[in-house]
Structure 1
Amino acid sequence: MIKNYLLIAVRNIFRNKMFSTVNILGLAFGMCSALLIFLWVNDELEYDHFHANVDRLYRVMENQKYSDGRIYTFASTPGPMAPFIKEKYPEIEKATRFTWEVNNLFQVDGKIFYEEGRYADQDFVEMFSFPFLKGKQTAALKDKNSIVITESMAKKYFGDEEPLGKVLLMNTKLSFTVTGVIKDLPKNSSLQFAYLLPFEVFWDENTWLHEWGNNNIRTYIQLKEGTNRENFAAKFKDEIGAHQEQNNVALFIQPLAEAYLYGDFENGQQAGGRIEYVQIFFVVAIFVLFIACINFMNLSTAQATKRAKEVGLRKVIGAVPSQLFKQFMGESFVTVCLSAAIALMISLLLIPVFNEITGKALSLNLLDGRIILIFGAIILFTSFVAGSYPALVISEFKPVQVLKGQLKSGSKAATFRKVLVVVQFSMSIILIISTTVVFRQMNFMQNRDIGFDRTNVIYVWMEGDVRPKLETFRNQLMTKAGIESVTSASQLPIDIGNSTVGVNWEGKDPNEKILFSNINVDFEFIQTMKMTMKDGRPFDRTRVTDTANYIVNEKAAEKMGFKEGATDQDLTMWDRKGKIVGVVKDFNFGSLHTAVDPLILRMDVKETYCLLVRLKPQEVEAGLRSTEDLWKAYAPGYPFKYTFLNQNWEDFYKPEAQRGKVFNTLAILSIFISCLGLFGLSAFSAERRTKELGIRKALGASMSSLVQLMGREFTVLVAIAACVGCPAGWYIMTQWLSNYAYHVDVGFVTLILAAIICLAISLITISYHSFKVAANDPVKSLRYE
C-alpha cells in the first residue's frame, strides 16, 4: 500500500511539472532560510553554555541610584572586591577579577604584534572551561611573570616549537614566560582574549584600583553546589556600603548563562538585550516558512479538482476519509522531503556567505545531533502545516458528486485561498517595511551630525616617548604635510566610559548624587574635533590657569542649575578646584540608543593616552606618512597602528548592520516565495478561465481589458494585504525604534512605498500568464478542455 502511494505521489509530481516545481522551490527556499536562521538562533542561545559549571557561574553587577531617581546598571566593580568576598562569604567557591580588553605589544625573535588580552586571577582558569593544551591549569597564573596564550597566538610566535617556557617581551620592557596554552576560544564565548596575564601585574601598576570607590574591572564568582542564589544575593546586596559612606550602590549577581542575551537594564530592572533579536529572527523565520507553506496549500487545493475522480473511486471501493487523509499527507511529506534535500544543498552553498553577513562561524555538520533535530523539526513542521489542509479538503470530496461530474470548486475553498494570499502578502509587506526602516535607521546613525566632525580624524594610543614628550611631538607634527590639527584625550570622544559623582559647585545640595561622565583632554581638543561652543571659550594654552579649569556640556550645565551663566562658575571635581570656562554644545559620546548624559571635560594633559590627529581633507595620505615618520622617531619599538575615528563609529553599529542585512535578505526571499505562489495561482486561474477569455475575445474584448480582468482579483487581494500589513508594520517598527534615543520616523511614505513595491511585483508576476492567455487564438481557447 505504502509503495503504491509513493508511486502515485511521484507520478503526480511529474504529471504537474510547473506546479510541482513552484511548490518544491518555494518550500526549499523557505526551509533553507528557516534552517540558517534557526542555526543562528541556536548559536545565540548556546552562548557561554559550554562551561562545565555554567549553572554556578555569575557576574557581579551594580545598581547605582542617583538623586534624579534614575538607576544605572553597570558590570564594572571595585578592584578589591573579588578576594575579599571570597574570604567573607562561605557560599563563594571561587572568585576572579577580569579586566576589559587590553592591547599590548608582544615581540619575540623579530616577530612584533599587538594582541588583545586580559588580566585575571588564578581562579579564572579553574572556573571557566577553556581547555589547556599545554601546561597545568592549577599553576598557570600563579607566577607573577607567567602568561597563558591561545593556540593561535602560540602558533603565531613560535610556529611548531614547544611554547612552554618561552619568553615573550611585552611593551619592550616586561618579560613573561609561557606557562600554559589553551585551545582557541569558541566563537560563542562572551569572554574573548588572546592571552591572560596575572591580575597582580595590573594591580601593582594601578594604585587607584585599590579603592572601593573606583569601578573598572569585572568580578565573576562561582557559588558552591547547593547554594540558594536568592538568599546569597540578599546577604551580598549591600557589600559596597560596608566599605563606603553615603553609598548608593546595590549589588546583585547575574547568571553567566544569561549575561550575553539579557544585557540591557533600565532603571535597575532587566529590560532585554540580544534576546529581543533572537526572538524577532525566530518569528521572521517562521514567517518565511509559513509563507512557503501557504504557497503549497493554495496550489494544492487549487489543483484538488484534478484528483477528484481518483478520490471518488477510492471512496466507492471502500476507502475512508482517514485513509485518504494519510495518503495525501504522505504525498505532501514526499514533496517536503524533496524540498528539504534542495534546501540542504542551498544551505551548504550559502552558509559561508551567511557567516560573513552575521559574523558567525556556523557549520552544517549533519553528524551533530542538534542540527539533525533542528532540520527534522523543520521538515515535520512544514509537512504538517503545508499538507494538512489540502489533505483534509481532498479527503472530504463526495463520491456521488465527483462521479456524476457535479463537483465544483467550493466557495469556501476559494475564499480560504484568498485569505491565505492576503496573509502571505501582509507578511511580505511587514518585512518590506521592517527592512526599509532598519536601513534608514542604520543610515541615520552612520551619517547623523553627532555634534563634532569625526571625518579625516585618526587616533593612535600613545607609546614610547610620544606621551612623555607630547608637547614637542605635537609641535613638530603640526609643521608636517597633511596635518590640520593635533590633540590628545584620555578616551575616544565617541566612547567615553568614565563617570563620577565626585563633582561639587556652589549651591549644590551635599546629599545630592548626580552622575557625570568625564574625559581628560588637551588644549586643542575642542578645535580639533570641531565642536561648537554654546557659551564661553575652549581651553587656551596661553592662560596658565586653564590647566585647572573645566568645560561642561549643555546637559551638565542644566544638571548643575546653570541654564544660563555657567561660565566662570567654580567647579570642584574630586580634589581639584577650578572654573567652568565654557559650555560646549551637546555631542554624542556614546550609543545613539541613549540620550546625551552630563559631561565634564577636564583639562589634564598628563592623563591623556590617545593621540588624535585631524588630517587635511585633500592630503590624507601625506598626513598619514607624516604622522608615521614622526612616530618612528619617538616610538621606534612600536608599530604605527592607527584607526580612523569614523570607522570606529561604524564598527559600533556593525552588529545592527549585520542584522539589517539578514532582514533585507529575508524580506527579498519572502517576496520571491510569495511571487512563486502567485505565479502558480495565476497560471491555474488562467488555465480555468481559458474558455471564458476566448468567448470574451470573440465578442470583441481587447487584450488590455482581458489582462485587467485577469489581474483585478489578485490586485484586490494585494490591496487588502496592504491595508493589513501597513498598520502592523508601522506598529512593529515604531516599537523597535523606541529603543533608540535618536531615530527616524516610520513615515507614511515608507508604508506607501512598501504597498507599491508589493503590488508592482505581484502585477509583474501575474502579467505573464495574463498576456499569454489573452493572446491566444479564440478558436483554440473555445476548443480547450
Structure 2
Amino acid sequence: MIINFLKIAWRNLAKNKAYTAINVGGLALGMAVTLIIALWVEDEISHNDYFSNKNKIAQVFQSQTFNSRTSTGPAIPRPLEFALREGYLDNFKHLAMSSWTTNMYLKYNDISISSTGNFMQPEATEMLDFNIQSGEKDGLREINSIMLSEKTAHALFGNEDAIGKVVDVNGEYDMMVTAVYEDIPFNNSFNDAFFLMPWEKYITTQEWLIGSEDNWGNNSFQLFVQIADNTSMDRVTSIIKNVKKDLNEDTAEFNPQLFLLPMKDWYLRSNFENGKQVGGRIKYVWLFAIIGAFVLLLACINFMNLSTARSEKRAKEVGIKKSIGSQRNQLINQFLGESFLVAVISFVLAMLIILLFLNGFNELARKEIEFPWTNPLFWLSGLAFIVFTALLAGSYPALYLSSFNPVDVLKGTFKAGKHAGTPRKILVVLQFTVSVAFIIGTVIVMQQINHAKNRPIGYDREGLVQIPVMSQDFEGKYELMRTEFLKSNAIVEMSASSSPTTRIWSNRSGFRWDGKPEGFQEDFAWTDVTPEYAKSLNLKIVDGRDFSREFATDSNAVLINQTAVKYMGIENPVGLFLVDDDEEDPDEPLKIIGVVEDMIAQSPYEPVKQAVYEYIKDGDPNYYNLRLNPRQSAQQNLAIIERVFKTHFPKIPFEYDFVDEQYGAKFAAEERIGSLSGIFTALAILISCLGLFGLTSFVAEQRTKEIGVRKVLGASVLNVWNMLSKDFLKLVILSCFIAIPISFYIMNGWLQEYPYRVTLKWWVFALAMIGATLITMITISFQAIKAARANPIKSLRTE
C-alpha cells in the first residue's frame, strides 16, 4: 500500500514538472532557512556547554545607585573575596579571583607572540574543568607558573614538549609552563584565554594593587564562584546581597547590592537596566527562531495553495477511488504520503543549500558552526522536522481533496464551490503580511544602525592609530618614542592615554566642588592623558584651553567634557577645582582648565557619559595614539612606524589598531543581525513570490479559453493583464494594511531599548507597501502578459 502511494505520488510530481519545481524549490528554500537558523539558535543557546559545571558556576555582579540611577556590572572590590571566604564559604565549592582578560607578549628563544589571557586563582582550573592535555591541572599553584592553551604552546614551541620550559612574559618575569590545556571552543566564555597565570603573581607585581586588599571602593576585579551542591543561585544571592554594604560604611551610600549571575546567563541575558535584568542576546535568539518558523510557514503555504488550486485536476482520481471503495482516511494517507515525499526531497535539497552556503553564513554571522553529520540527535530531529513539515503543508490539501463527493465528480457536475478560493486568499494575505513586516523591520534596523553611525563622535577617527603598551620595555620611553615617530614624518602628532580611545576603563567618584548639590553622588568616566591628547584626536576645545607643557601647574589640571558641565550643574567651569576626598592630601585639588566637545567612548547608542581627562602623572600609559601623516598613504606610514618601533623594541611584536575599525566594531552585533535579517527577508519574499507565480500560472491556465474569447472580442493585453492581476494585487495591498500597524508596534517597542534612536517615519511604511506591490506586479506580469499575448485560435480550437 505504501509503495503504491509513493508510486502515485512520484508520477504526479513527474507529470506536473513546473508545479513540482515551485513546490519543491520553495519548500527546500524554506527548510534550508529554518535549518540554518536552527543551527544558529542551537549554537547560541549551547554557549558555555563546554564547561561541565555550567549550572553551578556564576560570576559575582554588583549594582550601585548614583542619584537614583542604578548601574550594574561584574567589577567588584578585592576585599569581597576575603569576606566571602571568611563568613560565607559554606555556600561555595570554589571561589576564584581573576583579572580582566589582558594582552601580553610571550617570548621563548627567538619566538615572540602577542596573546590574551588572565591571572586567576588556582581554584579556577578545577571550577572551569579545563581539559588538560599535558602537565598538571592545578598548574597555578606556584607563583612563577603559567598554563598555555594548545594553540599558544604550538606557536611558541612547535611540536616540542612545552612542560618545564620557561617563557618570558612582557619582558618582566620568567614563567615555567606547568600545563597545556585544550583550546576552549569558540562559542564559550574564556575562549580568548590563551594563557593563565597565578593571581599571586598579579597582586605582587602590579604597583597599583598595593593596598587593594582593604579598598572597598576599588572595583577593578572579577570573582567567579561555583556554588555548593546543596544550594541554589537565588539562595546564595539572598545571603550575600548586602555583604559589601554591611562591611564598608564608605560605600554604603551607593547601596551596593551583590548577586550571582549564572554562567548560563553570561552570554544571552547579561543586559541590565536600572538594576533589573532585561535580557540581552536572547532577544535575537527569539527573533530568528520566529523568523525561521515564519519562513517555513510561507513555504508550506505555497504547497497548500498550489495543491488546493489544482484540486479540480485531482477530482476525478478522488471520485474513482471513492467509487471503488476507498475510505476517506486512505485518501488522506495518500495525499499526506505525497506531502511526505515532497518534504523528503526538499529536505535533501535544503541540506545541499546549507552545505553550499554554510561557510559564507559563518563569516557573516561570526560563527564557527559545523554541519552535525555525526550527531544522531540531528538526524532524529531532521526526521521529526520532515514529518512536521509534511503534516503542516499537507494536512489541509489532504482534508480538502479527500472531501470531494464522488457522484458529482463522476457526473461532471463538480464545482470547487463559491468560497473554495477563500482559504487560498487568506493564506496569500498571511504570506505577504509576514513578508511586508520583514521588509519594514529590516529597513528600521538598518536605519537605527546608520543613525548611530552618523552620530557626531566628537573627534576625528580617520587616520588615527593605537599601539598597545603592554611591557616594561615601554617604561619611561614615551617622550623618546614621540620624538622618534615625529622625526620619521610618518605622524603629525602623538599622545598617550590610560584607556583606548573607544573604551572607558576607569570610573571615579568621591569629588567635591563649589556649588555641588547636597547629597549629589557623582560618577565620572576617568582617563589619564598626556598634554597632546586633544591635538592627536582633533578633539575640539569649546571653553578654556588645552593642556600645555609650558605650564608646570598643569600637572594638577584636568579637562572635562560638555556633558560633565551639565552633570555638575555649573555654568562657568573653567577655573573651578575638583577636590578628591579620597586623596591623603586634599590640598592639591585638580583645576579645570578647559572643556572639550563630547566624545563617544562607550556605546554609540547611549548618551555620552560625563568625563574627566587628567594630566598623566604617575605610572605609564596603556596606549599610544598616533595621528598619521595625511600626505602619505597609511601603508607607507605604518611601514615607517614599524621600522622605528622595531629599532627600540626589537623583541616585541608590532601591533596596532585603526581607531575607525575599533569604533566600527561597536556596530558589529547589530550589523550582523541587520544583514542576516535582510537576507532572510529577501528569501521570505522570494518564497512568497514563487507561490504567487505558481498561482498566477494556474489561474492563467484555468482561464485559457476565457482569455481566448475575450481576445477575439477585442480585449487588449492590458485588459487581460488587469483581469488576471487585480485580485492578487488587492490581496497584497490588504496584507500591507495589516502588516504596517503590526510592524509599527513591534519596531517602536524595539527602538525604546535605545536612548539614542531613530524616529519612525511614515515613508518607511509607504516604501515597503510600494515595494511589495511592485514585486507582486512583476511576479504576476510574466504569466499574465504571456497568457494575454497567446494566440486565441489555439486556445479555442481545443474545445
Q: Give the C-alpha shift of residue 436 in structure 1.
A: 2.0
CA–CA distance in 1 between the matches of 2:285 and 2:557?
Answer: 47
Deviation string 1:93-119 (CA, Å, 9 cap, x unpaired) is 110012222111111131111001111
Answer yes or no: is the 8 Å Cα contact 1:134–1:180 preserved in 2.
yes
Answer yes or no: is the 8 Å Cα contact 2:233–2:262 preserved in 1.
no
Please report the RMSD computed on the Cα atoms of aligned residues, expressed in angstroms.
1.8
CA–CA distance in 2 between the matches of 1:616 and 1:100?
Answer: 34
Q: Give the C-alpha shift of residue 752 in structure 1.
A: 2.2
Residue among 407, 413, 432 paired with 2:420: 413
Tell me the residue number matched to 2:795: 781
**In the superposition, relative to structure 1, how do residues 784 and 467 fare at CA in structure 2: closer, same or farther (>3 Å)?**
farther
Tell me the residue number matched to 1:217: 221
Tell me the residue number matched to 1:347: 354
CA–CA distance in 2 between the matches of 1:228 and 1:732?
Answer: 36
CA–CA distance in 2 between the matches of 1:233 and 1:365?
Answer: 38
Q: Give the C-alpha shift of residue 297 in structure 1.
A: 0.8
Residue aligned with 2:607, SS? coil
CA–CA distance in 2 between the matches of 1:457 and 1:568?
Answer: 31
The alignment of Structure 1 onto Structure 2 pairs a total of residues equal to 782
CA–CA distance in 2 between the matches of 1:310 and 1:413?
Answer: 19
Structure 1 range deviating more: 567-576 or 11-20: 567-576
**In the superposition, relative to structure 1, how do residues 204 and 411 fare at CA in structure 2: closer, same or farther (>3 Å)?**
farther
CA–CA distance in 2 between the matches of 1:771 and 1:379?
Answer: 37
Residue among 363, 375, 383 paired with 1:368: 375
Q: Give the C-alpha shift of residue 215 in structure 1.
A: 1.2
CA–CA distance in 2 between the matches of 1:379 and 1:530?
Answer: 60
Instruction: Supply the AA of the counterpart residue of 1:203.
Output: I
Matched ranges for 1:110-129 at <5 A: 110-129=110-129
Tell me the residue number matched to 1:145: 144
Structure 1 range deviating more: 592-601 or 124-133: 592-601
Q: Give the C-alpha shift of residue 223 in structure 1.
A: 1.2
Deviation string 1:285-307 (CA, Å, 9 cap, x unpaired) is 11111111111111011011111
Matched, 1:521 2:529: yes
Structure 1 range deviating more: 212-221 or 28-37: 212-221
Tell me the residue number matched to 2:169: 170
Instruction: Supply the AA of the counterpart residue of 1:593.
Output: Y
CA–CA distance in 2 between the matches of 1:689 and 1:721?
Answer: 25
Residue aligned with 2:248, SS? coil
CA–CA distance in 1 between the matches of 2:309 and 2:493?
Answer: 72
Instruction: Supply the AA of the counterpart residue of 1:173.
Output: E
Tell me the residue number matched to 2:248: 244
Q: Give the C-alpha shift of residue 491 in structure 1.
A: 0.5
CA–CA distance in 1 between the matches of 2:689 and 2:525?
Answer: 53
Tell me the residue number matched to 1:690: 704
**In the superposition, relative to structure 1, how do residues 532 and 373 fare at CA in structure 2: closer, same or farther (>3 Å)?**
farther
Residue among 617, 620, 630 paired with 1:617: 630
Answer yes or no: is the 8 Å Cα contact 1:446–1:649 preserved in 2.
no
CA–CA distance in 2 between the matches of 1:715 and 1:52?
Answer: 56
Q: Give the C-alpha shift of residue 80 in structure 1.
A: 3.6
Answer yes or no: is the 8 Å Cα contact 2:453–2:604 preserved in 1.
no
Instruction: Supply the AA of the counterpart residue of 1:756.
Output: I
**In the superposition, relative to structure 1, how do residues 511 and 443 fare at CA in structure 2: closer, same or farther (>3 Å)?**
closer
Tell me the residue number matched to 1:561: 569
Residue aligned with 1:478, SS? helix
Deviation string 1:42-73 (CA, Å, 9 cap, x unpaired) is 1111111332222211110001011x211100
Tell me the residue number matched to 1:600: 612
CA–CA distance in 2 between the matches of 1:783 and 1:157?
Answer: 84
CA–CA distance in 1 between the matches of 2:496 and 2:454?
Answer: 24
Tell me the residue number matched to 1:660: 674
Tell me the residue number matched to 1:232: 236
Deviation string 1:400-444 (CA, Å, 9 cap, x unpaired) is 221222222223331111111111111111112222222333333
Residue among 698, 707, 727 paired with 1:713: 727
Residue among 537, 548, 553 paired with 2:556: 548
Deviation string 1:158-209 (CA, Å, 9 cap, x unpaired) is 1221111111111123111111111110122122211111111111123254
CA–CA distance in 2 between the matches of 1:455 and 1:441?
Answer: 22
Q: Give the C-alpha shift of residue 267 in structure 1.
A: 0.8
Q: Give the C-alpha shift of residue 84 in structure 1.
A: 4.1
Residue among 591, 611, 627 paired with 2:603: 591
Answer yes or no: is the 8 Å Cα contact 1:466–1:473 preserved in 2.
no
Residue aligned with 2:456, SS? coil
Tell me the residue number matched to 2:783: 769
Instruction: Supply the AA of the counterpart residue of 1:500.
Output: R
Structure 1 range deviating more: 699-708 or 667-676: 699-708
Deviation string 1:1-23 (CA, Å, 9 cap, x unpaired) is 22211111111111111111100
CA–CA distance in 1 between the matches of 2:781 and 2:78?
Answer: 70
CA–CA distance in 2 between the matches of 1:596 and 1:40?
Answer: 34
Answer yes or no: is the 8 Å Cα contact 1:97–1:217 preserved in 2.
yes
Unpaired runs of 5+ residues, structure 2, are none
Instruction: Supply the AA of the counterpart residue of 1:679.
Output: F
Deviation string 1:235-290 (CA, Å, 9 cap, x unpaired) is 21111124422322110111111221100001111001000000001001111111
**In the superposition, relative to structure 1, how do residues 75 and 413 fare at CA in structure 2: closer, same or farther (>3 Å)?**
farther
Answer yes or no: is the 8 Å Cα contact 1:213–1:244 preserved in 2.
no
Tell me the residue number matched to 2:594: 582
**In the superposition, relative to structure 1, how do residues 509 and 369 fare at CA in structure 2: closer, same or farther (>3 Å)?**
farther
Q: Give the C-alpha shift of residue 510 in structure 1.
A: 6.1
Residue among 398, 413, 426 paired with 2:433: 426
Answer yes or no: is the 8 Å Cα contact 1:333–1:383 preserved in 2.
yes
Residue aligned with 1:653, SS? helix
Deviation string 1:674-698 (CA, Å, 9 cap, x unpaired) is 1111111110010011111101100
CA–CA distance in 1 between the matches of 2:696 and 2:390?
Answer: 24
Residue aligned with 2:249, SS? coil
TM-score w.r.t. length of structure 2: 0.95
Answer yes or no: is the 8 Å Cα contact 1:519–1:600 preserved in 2.
yes
Q: Give the C-alpha shift of residue 375 in structure 1.
A: 2.3
Answer yes or no: is the 8 Å Cα contact 2:76–2:219 preserved in 1.
yes
Tell me the residue number matched to 1:196: 196
Tell me the residue number matched to 1:294: 301
Residue among 241, 249, 260 paired with 2:267: 260
Residue aligned with 1:288, SS? helix
CA–CA distance in 1 between the matches of 2:389 and 2:185?
Answer: 32
CA–CA distance in 2 between the matches of 1:161 and 1:231?
Answer: 48
TM-score w.r.t. length of structure 1: 0.96
Q: Give the C-alpha shift of residue 784 in structure 1.
A: 4.1
**In the superposition, relative to structure 1, how do residues 750 and 304 fare at CA in structure 2: closer, same or farther (>3 Å)?**
same
Deviation string 1:438-485 (CA, Å, 9 cap, x unpaired) is 233333333432111111000102345544132233234333324221
